[in-house]
Chain A
Amino acid sequence: MQTINVKVNGTTYQESVPIRMLLVDFIREVVGLTGTHVSCTYEGVCGACTIHLNGEAVKSCMLLAVQADGHEITTVEGLANDKELSPLQKAFNEQHGLQCGFCTAGVLMNMTEFLAKNPNPSDDEIRHGLIGNLCRCTGYVHIVNAVRAAAKSIAN
């Protein structure tokens, strides 16, 4: 067991965890935020568990919780600002960018960072940026529409 200090969505958690505990399990089971999902289980290819570690999109199933000691994490629960949905969250609703919602948290976390770095992306850039998030429901069309719409909305 090792004691770690991790700030999650602005709140610091000091917890004792087994060294082998995955960060995604820490977030879901210790902190109790279950919006971050597990889909591919071990490979780190589906992107459903994507969070921000110090502001960057990473897959939380590919990290041990102890690796996050001293760092700041944002999860999908931390995207809305005082209950006000972020432009990307709003766009996903308006453009029907999700169906079952299982991949959605990861998509939102990845694309939030993507848009911060690429405020005016082409559709090809959006599609390329989405490679790390598998979605089985939408065929990606409405996801691309939503990211494009969010970029516009942020620019205005």
Chain B
Amino acid sequence: MASNPQKTNDSWMGSRLARKEDLRLVTGQGKYISDIVLPRMLHAVFVRSDRAHAKIVSIDTSAALALPGVVCVVTGDDIVDELRSMPQPVLLPNLPAKYPTFYPLCVGKVKFHGAPVALVIARDKYVAEDAAELVEIEYEELPVVVDPEAALEPGAPLINEDHDDNEIFSMTFTGGTTQAEHDANDKEVEEIFQNADVTIKERFRVHRTGLTPMEPRGVLCDWSDSDGLTAWITTQRPHIDRLAIIDLLDIPADKVRVIAPRDQGGGFGVKAPFFRENVIIAHMARKLGQPVRWIESRYESLMNVGQERDQINYLEVAATQDGKLLALRNRGIADNGTGETGVYWGFVMPFLGAVELPNTYTWDKADVKLRVAVTNKACLTPSRAFGHFPTRFAIERAVDMIAHKIGMEPSDLRRKNLIPHLPYTSTTGEYYDSGDFVQVWDNLMSHIDMAKFREEQQAARSEGRYIGIGFGTGVELSGMASEVLVPMENQPGYGAASVRLDPRGTALVFGGDAPGGQGHETSVAQIVASAFGIEPQDTVTTTGDTATTPFGSGTIGARGASYFMSAVHNACVEIKVKIARILAHDLGISATLDDFEFVDGQVVLRSDRSVKKSFRDIVERIIMHPINMPPGEVGGLEATVYFEAAKPMICFNADFCTVEVDIHSGEFKITKWVSSEDVGNVINPLIVDGQMHGAIVQGLSNTMFEEFIYNDQGQQLTADFENYKIANAADMPDIEVTYSPSPCPHTPLGTRGIGEGRPSSVPGALSNAICDALLPFGIEITELPLRPGAIWKKIQESQA
């Protein structure tokens, strides 16, 4: 626990540097969206549907409008002719799907409990809420569909009436592109299953859960006729949001600026989509000529966003008697909700979940198909472990079930089937660029003595105590190359950064992504300090403002250390080349960048270290005194660099945990959690540790506590933290994160982006540990969440 980091080898790379962001955050000086106040600012409150599926018969806004302090009340009918509907092309993936048409406020009917029906704008937020209560809506109930399998049945009530069924998306992921190729593949898979020594077939169900940033969403829009729209949005993608607003509101491109506040209270994917609320707030600010702000309540947040997972996977696995995995066959069904969310539309997550099904294992063949159903629920929004939390739970459980069937240690079976060498293209076509799965696995296993554990387990059982160990592995995308992101989300994957040196020798860095707690300012400062030989405090990073930053697709999919940081580094190198050129000219020598070392605030000639110049002096000379320059050279030191890796990249982890289960109550305690990570070269291990801790606990919380529950009528019953339970500190274990890194060959610093997909190995590892503890009862967990009551019931049933 080094709290006083030193730079190593004249580099800040790999240093446990305490974060730059913290000083303002521990003293209450952070600036989050709700801290931004403009003169004459109005407050917006949405009136949301209390029905899941109903025709809007009438809306009476007169009582609300009559309340003193209320500026306006708008409904769907009021705005339908004033702005464009979604989808617009910028918000459409390049995937064939039945995209619903919709407006920021419901028009004609409501499709889920919590949908925005009207908007109240008032001078005071308390009054806005008073008025929202007075909006009277008459509904005519429509049949409600909450079960995804029922939604796909022929004749099921239609939810999105612009399409002829509720299947928003379906895909076959294996065996080529034509039906004939698919059929041939599926036949081969069937043959493997027919001839296999051992097979399992289960229905794996993962409930609706996801992430809930501590800061809910918010939008503040300001309009001026000369400058146009400035929109502060809690977002991971300010540049995408800007394009969407331009298109939806038909505002000239030079008249829209989106700013993601420097401080955002977490995102985790939830703030990555483009939301309908952004559009109407921007529209009303323009219409009223006055700033309008909406700050989401927790109730609204839990009604509308952060809902993910929610898949049924009918998974079959075939293997040999000695534990070689042969083939997998999966029929996935995902519950999409309404589909009314820009960029993802709900189904993009289960799409990736199906792609990532094979995980870290080798398979001879696979047959993977997915159907995604529209239901009367909130649209799925991305949540860390994008789409693959349910499929990874299924595959990691299936691996253990095979091990149980053939009487092999699950850890041995895993090692036997790990992909032995990278690069590798998975059976669903996902490219794994580099790394060493086996090395990471062996590092994990060096932290547990399996023989000893089995002895302890036996001894414990004889005392009536049930302890168990469970394993899980995970591969995740380290950012997304354009070749992945363009088809998937219709956006570029490259990272972009501008680095500008100040005449006083400090650095300003600009990035178009929009972090929410990942520590970008610190990691960037470490890279810049290492590049220029300056101190980390000499770098200031600006993110999230579309007016000052180069285009970035956002803080998503572990793009930080893979793409953005690589762009920062390359921009520094570009500037260094220029500095070296001018310095060599000034020194009257023939030298290039390789001849100089940037260290301790000096630029030193390697061949004669007495020849040096202070970094600040040379920077000031180039920016402020651009005379006597090399031929053709001009002053100034600034570079904007776009970085695209040669290949899509991954990172990899393996976990184990131990548990003790009380068979009389089904309660369990996690007694140990150890992870082994290949995250490439680490910029700041303190930050990476923190990312891993957070991701693992998010996975645990999703697995054990959190569940969005809709009843048969589509009423959402869990729109507060009393009912949507998030893990607190007393319920979570300490976590030991260990590293077995291999530098990424596709990034200039060998770094990999990390953390996005990290929660998804958790539900399998934990469930496997519980099943291991309860092996004498022959219990196999196939459904989440892992509630003590459900575990106790399984124990009861096994004894009956």
Contact = CB atoms under 8 A, between A and B. Distances in A.
A123 B299 contact: no
B260 interface: no
Contact of A39 (B298, B722, B729): B298
B694 interface: yes
B27 A138 contact: no
B686 interface: yes
Interface string B189-218: 000000000000000000000011111100
A92 interface: yes
A130 B690 CA distance: 18
A45 B1 contact: no
Interface residues of B, number: 59
A124 to B, nearest CB: 8
Contacts, number: 192
B693 A139 contact: yes
A154 interface: no
A92 B19 CA distance: 10
A79 interface: yes
Contacts of A85: 23, 26-27
A102 B32 contact: yes
Contact of B734 (A18, A21, A95, A123): A123
A82 interface: no
Nearest to A100: B517
Contact of B30 (A21, A35, A138, A143): A35
Interface string A18-43: 10110000001100011111111111
Interface stretch (B262-270, B280-288, B361-369, B771-779): B262-270
B660 to A, nearest CB: 16
B27 A77 contact: yes
B730 A130 contact: yes
Given A41-B298, A48-B214, A139-B693, A99 B517 contact: yes
A42 B297 contact: yes
B269 to A, nearest CB: 12
B703 interface: no
A120 B180 CA distance: 70
A95 B126 contact: no
Interface stretch (A52-60, A65-73, A103-111): A103-111
A144 B1 CA distance: 13
Contacts of B215: 37, 39, 100, 102
**Binding site secondary structure of chain B:** loop
Interface in A133-156: 133-145, 149
A71 B487 CA distance: 59
Nearest to A22: B126
Nearest to B270: A136
Contacts of B136: none
A6 interface: no
Interface in B26-45: 26-32, 34-35, 37
A43 B211 CA distance: 19
Contacts of B183: none
Interface in B317-341: none
A143 B26 CA distance: 13
Interface string B612-638: 000000000000000000000000000
Nearest to A143: B729
B18 A130 contact: no
Given A134-B726, A141-B693, A96 B266 contact: no
A93 interface: yes
A101 B729 contact: no
Contacts of A38: 34
B27 A89 contact: yes
